[in-house]
Amino acid sequence: MRTYLGVTASRGLAVGPVFRLDRAAPTARIAGLPELETARLNAALDLAKQELDELQAQAAPSDRDIFLFQRMLLEDKSLLEDMRGHIAEGSEAADAVEATGLQFAHRLRNVQDEYISQRSADVLDACQRVSAILDGNPRGTPILTEPSILVADSLYPSDIVGMDRNLLLGLATAAGSSQSHAAIIARTMGLPAVIQLGRDVLADCSGSMAALDADNGRLILNPDPQLLNQLEERHRCTVNLVSGDLLLRPCRTADGTRVYIMANCTAPDDIEAAMAMGAEGVGLLRSEYSLLSGTPPTEEQQYQYYKNCLLAAGGRPVTVRTFDIGEEWAPVWLRVPMGPNPALGLRGLRFCLTQPELFRMQLRALLRAAAQASLSVVFPMVGGPEEWDAAMAQVELAKEELRERGEAFRENTPFGCMIEVPSAALTADVLASHGCAFFSIGTNDLVQYTCAADRAEPEMQQYYRQENPAVSALVQAACDAAERAGIPVSVSGLTAANPYLACTHVRQGVRTLSMSSQSFAAVRSQLARLDLRVPAPGPAAPRLPARAEPALAGV
Ligand code: PEP
Ligand code: MG
Average pLDDT over residues 152-175: 80
Helix, strand or coil for residue 534?
A: coil
Q: Which atom of ligand 1 is nearest to the CA of 264?
A: 5
Task: State phi, psi for 441 to the nearest 5 degrees.
Answer: -85, 115
What are the C-alpha distances in Å from 388 to residues 116, 287, 417? 37, 19, 8
Residue minimizing CA distance to atom 1 of ligand 1: 442
Each residue's pLDDT tens digit, 442-486: 999 999 999 999 887 767 878 989 999 999 999 999 999 999 999
Is any atom of ligand 1 closer than 6 Å to the C-beta of 414? no
Q: Which of 30-34, 209-213, 336-340, 500-504 has the lowest mean pLDDT?
A: 336-340
443 CA: nearest ligand 1 atom: 3
Cα–Cα distance between 158 and 58 in angstroms, integer? 10
Model pTM score: 0.60
Q: Coil, helix or strand for 528?
A: coil
Site to probe by mutation for ligand 1, drawn from 492, 512, 515 as the one with most ligand atoms within 8 Å of Cβ, is 492
CB of 100 within 8 A of CB of 76?
Answer: no
- The Cα-based distances of 223 to 149, 150, 226 in angstroms read 14, 17, 8
Q: What is the pLDDT of residues 87-136, one digit of tens each?
A: 999 999 999 998 998 888 888 776 666 666 667 778 888 898 898 888 87
Question: How many angstroms separate the CA atoms of 184 and 125, rounded?
Answer: 15
Task: Say yes or no: CB of residue 492 within 6 Å of ligand 1.
Answer: yes
Closest CA to 478 of 464, 463, 492, 498: 492
Ligand 1 touching residue 442 (CB < 6 A) = yes
Q: Which ligand is nearest to the CA of 496?
A: 1
* pLDDT score for 406: 97
CA 440 to ligand 1: nearest atom: 5
- % of residues, the chain, pLDDT over 70: 87
Q: What distance, in Å, lies between the first and last C-alpha atoms of the chain? A: 73
439 by DSSP, 3-state: which? Answer: strand
443 C-beta closer than 6 A to ligand 1: yes
Ligand 1: which of 445, 451, 495, 512 to mutate, most ligand atoms within 8 Å of CB? 445
553: how many CB neighbours lie within 10 A of its CB? Answer: 5
Q: Tell the residue nearest (CA) to atom 4 of ligand 1.
A: 442
Higher pLDDT, 426 or 342: 426
Mean pLDDT of the chain: 86
Indicate if the pLDDT at residue 245 is higher than 60. no
* Residues bordering ligand 2, an ion, CB closer than 5 Å: 420, 442, 445
Q: Look at 101 and 429; give whichever has higher pLDDT.
A: 429
More confident residue, 272 or 417: 417
**C-beta 288 within 6 A of ligand 1:** no
Atom of ligand 1 lying closest to residue 493 CA:
3
Q: Given pLDDT bands bounded at 50, 70 and 90, which one contains residue 166?
A: confident
Contact 371, 362 (CB under 8 A): no
Q: What's the confidence (pLDDT) of residue 240? A: 46
Beta strand 218-221 with 209-213 is antiparallel
Residue 443 CA to ligand 1 center (angstroms) comes to 7
Q: Highest-confidence range of 63-67, 179-183, 191-195, by mean pLDDT?
A: 191-195
445 C-beta closer than 6 A to ligand 1: yes
Cβ contact 416:436 at 8 Å: yes
| Rounded mean pLDDT, 184-200 | 80
**CA gap 264, 279 in Å, rounded:** 10
Q: How far is CA 178 from CA 117, 164, 315, in A?
A: 13, 23, 25
Helices of type H across 16-165: 34-58, 64-73, 77-88, 93-109, 114-118, 120-134, 157-160
